[in-house]
Structure 1
Amino acid sequence: MKAIMMTAIGNPDVLELHDIDEPEISTATQVKVRLKAAGVNPVDTKIRHSGLLYDHPLPVVLGCDGAGEVIETGSAVSQFKPGDKVWFCHGGLGREQGNYAEYTVLDQRWVSLMPQTCSFAEAAALPLVLITAWGGLFDRGGLQAGQTVLIHAGAGGVGHVAIQLAKLKGARVIATVRSEQKAEFVKAMGADEVILYTQDGLADAVNELTGGKGADLVFDTVGAEVFKASIPATAHFGRLVTLLDPGELSLAEARMRNLLIGFELMLTPMLRDLPEARDKHVEILKQCAQWVDRGLLKTHISKQLPLAEAAKAHELIETGHSTGKIVLTV
C-alpha cells in the first residue's frame, strides 16, 4: 500500500511516499479500514521535528486522525461490519501505525461510526480536536451554562470547535484572533465577542467585556506567553486550562485569585495505555456525531491535499496562520 513515512527527525522533507505492506488483522477484535482521509494536527509536526513519543525505530507512519470504510473484521467483532463508515483517533505517535496511509488495522474498541452527514475529509478533521476541546472545556474546565469562557486562537483547529461546543453548553464565548478576517470566521462559528489579540491589552479587553470580573474559564491553546497574559483575565475562583507547558513564571496573581489551573493533553490515554479513559474519547465522538448530523457542529477545512503532499500540509501548519483544519485525502 501507499503510505507517507517519516524517515528521519527533521524538516517536512523527511516525509516520503513509500510502498509498504498492508497491515493485517492479528486479533479477533480488530477491524481493517480502507482509509479515505487523514487529519493533520500540530502534534504530527512536533513529532516529525522533535522525535517519536515511543522508543521505536524509524521509519514510521504519522497521523492520529483517520476516517474510512471497514473492509474486514476479526471473528469476535460485534460492533462493525464491512461497509461501515468510521472515524477514530488512533496511532501515529510512533508505536501503532498512523493514518497517512491507504489502510490501517485497529481494535473495534477505539472506532466509532462517523457522522452520516460528513464527508470522509470532514470526519478525519475532527476527532483529535473534538476530544481536546471537550476535555479542556468540560472535564478540566468544568464549563457550565451561563458562564463566560475565553478561548484563545479561536480560528484554529481546536479553537473553532471549542467555540461551538461551548455554545452548545449555553456559555458566553469570547474568542481571541489575530486578524479581522479571522474575527469574522469565529463570529460565524458562534463567538459572542472577539478580541484582536495583543498580549499587553488582553486583560483590559476581557475585563471591559465582563464588567471587571474576568472570564470564568480561560482555554489557552497557544502557549507560555498567552498563559501568562491570561491570569489577570481570569475571574477570581475561575479556571485556567492550557494545552501546553506554560514554562517558568510567577503564579502569585493566580494564587491570589484562587485559580484552578489545569492541563489538557488528550494523548495521555494512548501514551500511558489507559483504556477506560480512551473509552471516554469514543463516547465523545458518538455524542459529537449526533450534533454534527443535527447541524449543530461543523468543521472548517482550510486545505485539502492528496496523501503525497503531506510535507506541504506540515509546512502550512507550521506557519501558524492556518484557519480550521488541514486534511490529507487518500
Structure 2
Amino acid sequence: MARVYRFNQLGGPDVLQLEELKLAPPGPHEVRLRIHAIGLNRADVMFRRGTYVLQARFPSRLGYEASGTVTDIGTGVTNFRVGDEVSVLPPDDPGVYGTYADEMNIPADSLIHKPPTLSFEAAAASWMQYLTAWGGVMHACRLQRDQYVVITAAVSSVGIAALEIALHAGAIPIAVTRKSDRHDVLRKMGIRHIIVSDGPGLCTEIEKITGANGLDCAFDAVGGPFLAELAAAMKPFGRIIIHGYLSNEITSFPVQTAIRKSLTVEGYFFAEILRSRTLRNDASGFLLEGMITGKLNVMIDRIFRFEEMPEAHRYMESENRSGKVVVIV
C-alpha cells in the first residue's frame, strides 16, 4: 500500500485527502520509487483550484517534483538500478503521475540521477523551476552574454532560478518585483538591477538601466499591464516570453509596438523542453553542471512534514515566500 494525496473536487487546501492505495509491481519501463522529499510549486495550487493550463480528472493526484530511492524496476529499464537516488522530472500529467505520495510507480524516462552533493530536499525542489527558467531564458529568449533580460515575479522560485541562470550565462538580469522588502534576497544573489513595479512606469525604469542598448528579452510571469510596458522598453527584434498570468487584469497585446519593433511575443510551457530529447539533454547538462559547481543553489523557504500537506498548501498561497516549499516524507 502507498499513501497518496488525491482530491475529488476543485477548491482550497482542505480538498486534499490522504488515501491508502494498492501499489502494483512496476510495469514495463517503470520503476518503483520510495519518495523522501516533495517539492511544491504554484502550479500545484493552480491545478487544485482549476486555474492551471491543465485540468484535473477526478479522482486526481497532483504534484510535479520529488526525490527518492529506486526500490524496484520493471522490464526494459536499463539506466536505473535498485538503490539509485533520483529526482523526478515534471510529468506531463500530474493528475496521473502526481508526486504527492510516499511510494509510487513512474516511467523511468521521468527520472534523473541525483548528484551526491545534493540533499534529497534540494533534489526535490530543483527541476520544475530550473527547467522552466532554462527553457524560457536560454531556449526561448536565446539569451547571450552581456544582453539585458527582465525577469518579472523575481522572488518566486522560477524567478530566482531565471536570475541565477542569467548570471551563469554572463547576461545582465533586471529583477522586477512588487516586494520591496525582498531586496536583500536578490542582492545576496548578486543582482545589481532591481525594480519595484506593478506595471505603470516600468518602461521608464528599464530604460534608465539599459540606456541606448535597449532591452534584449523579457521572461514574464505576470501579463496584464506589464506586457505593454515590456514591449515599449524592448529594442528592435527583442523577445518577450510569457510563462504565467499572475495579473488579475486583462492582458492586451501591444500590436502597434510589436509591428514597429519587429518583436517576438511567445507563450512558453516547460513541457516542451522534456518532450524534446535534444532540449532535455541540453537543459539537464547545463543545470547539473550549475548545481554540482554551486553556481545554481536552490533556495528553500520552509519544510513541512508529509502529514502537513494541506498546511503546506495554505503557506504556498501566502505572499511571504522567497524560494521553494518542500515536504519531507
TM-score normalised per structure 2: 0.90
> What displacement does 1:36 show?
0.8
Q: Which residue is equivalent to 1:325?
A: 324
Q: Which residue is equivalent to 2:33?
A: 33
Q: Which residue is equivalent to 1:139?
A: 139
Give the residue type in structure 1 aligned to 2:210.
T
> What displacement does 1:127 show?
0.9
Q: Is the 8 A contact 1:214 1:235 kept in 2?
A: yes
C-alpha separation in 2, matches of 1:255 and 1:321: 39
Give the residue type in structure 1 aligned to 2:168.
L
> What displacement does 1:198 show?
3.6
Would you say 1:211 and 2:211 are equivalent positions?
yes
C-alpha separation in 2, matches of 1:87 and 1:37: 9
Give the residue type in structure 2 aligned to 1:305.
F
Alignment map for 1:96-135 (pairs within 5 Å): 96-135=96-135
> What displacement does 1:57 show?
4.2
Q: Secondary structure at the match of 2:22?
A: coil
Q: Secondary structure at the match of 2:9?
A: coil
Q: 1:301 to 1:50 in 2, by over 3 A?
A: same
- Runs (5+) with no aligned partner, structure 2: none
Q: Is the 8 A contact 2:227 2:253 kept in 1?
A: no
C-alpha separation in 2, matches of 1:124 and 1:7: 25
Q: Deviations over 1:220-276 (max 9, x none)?
A: 02232322322112222211111035744342112212111122111357xxxxx74
Q: Which residue is equivalent to 1:167?
A: 167
Q: Is the 8 A contact 1:110 1:278 kept in 2?
A: no
Q: Which residue is equivalent to 1:3?
A: 4
The structure showing larger relative contact order (alpha-carbon pairs under 8 Å, at least 6 residues apart) is 1
State the identity %: 26
Q: Which residue is equivalent to 2:279?
A: 280
Give the residue type in structure 1 aligned to 2:163.
I
Q: Is the 8 A contact 2:47 2:56 kept in 1?
A: no
Q: Is the 8 A contact 1:65 1:89 kept in 2?
A: yes
- Runs (5+) with no aligned partner, structure 1: 270-274
Q: Which residue is equivalent to 2:228?
A: 228
**After TM superposition, what 4+ stretches of structure 1 lie above 4 angstroms from structure 2?**
51-57
Q: 1:250 to 1:92 in 2, by over 3 A?
A: closer
Q: Secondary structure at the match of 1:200?
A: coil
> What displacement does 1:14 show?
0.2
Give the residue type in structure 2 aligned to 1:317.
M
Q: Which residue is equivalent to 2:266?
A: 262
> What displacement does 1:49 show?
0.6
Q: 1:322 to 1:287 in 2, by over 3 A?
A: same
C-alpha separation in 1, matches of 2:129 and 2:277: 15
C-alpha separation in 1, matches of 2:123 and 2:64: 13
C-alpha separation in 2, matches of 1:99 and 1:165: 26
Q: Which residue is equivalent to 1:49?
A: 49
C-alpha separation in 2, matches of 1:303 and 1:192: 26
